[in-house]
Homo-oligomer: A and B are copies of this chain.
Amino acid sequence: MTHTAPPLVDAGAAIERASFAHIDAHAGPRAGYDDGAWSLVRRLIHTSGDFAFNGLTRLHPQALAAGREALARGCPVVVDVSMIQAGLTPRRLGPLGVTVHQFNHDAEVIRLAVAEKTTRTVQAMRMAWRRGVLAGGVVAIGNAPTALLEVIRLVREEGVRPALIIGVPVGFIAAAESKEELMTLDAPPWIAVRGTKGGSTLAVAALHTLMDRALEGKV
């Protein structure tokens, strides 16, 4: 990743502004979100075309502050799939000095997943912990419930403390349950969407919202 990507050209930026205005006008009453939380929910709606995130989105009370502060310090970001990594814009990562980590293709991760009959993403989260990027980092899980459950286990059993956990895994096998489990944590703070919906585009949208806030703090 280079830090020299150009900004959105004017036409793209104008479309984004019009989209946000449309969402504000048509999303209906906010499901209990303050202005800060709404900036996140709005972006989740923008990225999915789905107003259901006005309601499904849940935030720990310290989530936005924790994410903003950690990213403003240039904390590592750990993700479960390479699509999230590809979606994060260099124009945000560069100025913050944030690096993105994903270990699914690591040979040791693959060997351990086969040997222990777990998923690769579970082993990838353990590898992130051993490499020292989970503690103090922002973790974003967009795909694999097993990865989210492993992060929760590392928090509870190993005392690992990420700055923030973004849990938006998708699907019908353990995804909803893994997110309900995440929402029982007092610490670290978390962002989640209830139910089966989720995905890497939502993880990117949440990270971009937090990065924009971190960048504002830097100006």
Binding site for B on A (CB under 8 A): 5-6, 9-12, 15, 18-19, 22-23, 26, 46-50, 81-83, 85-87, 105, 110, 113-114, 117-120, 146, 170-175, 195-201, 204
Contacts and interface: CB of A to CB of B under 8 A. Distances in A.
Contact of A48 (B5, B26, B197): B197
Contact of A86 (B82, B117, B118, B171): B82
Contacts of A146: 11, 15
Could you tell me the dominant secondary structure of chain A's interface residues? helix
A196 B181 CA distance: 31
20 contacts: A9-B114, A11-B117, A15-B146, A15-B173, A15-B174, A19-B171, A19-B172, A19-B173, A22-B172, A48-B197, A48-B199, A49-B175, A49-B195, A49-B199, A50-B196, A50-B197, A82-B87, A86-B86, A86-B87, A87-B200
A113 B9 contact: yes
B10 A114 contact: yes
Nearest to A169: B49
A207 to B, nearest CB: 13
A177 to B, nearest CB: 13
Nearest to A11: B119
Nearest to A9: B113
Nearest to A23: B172
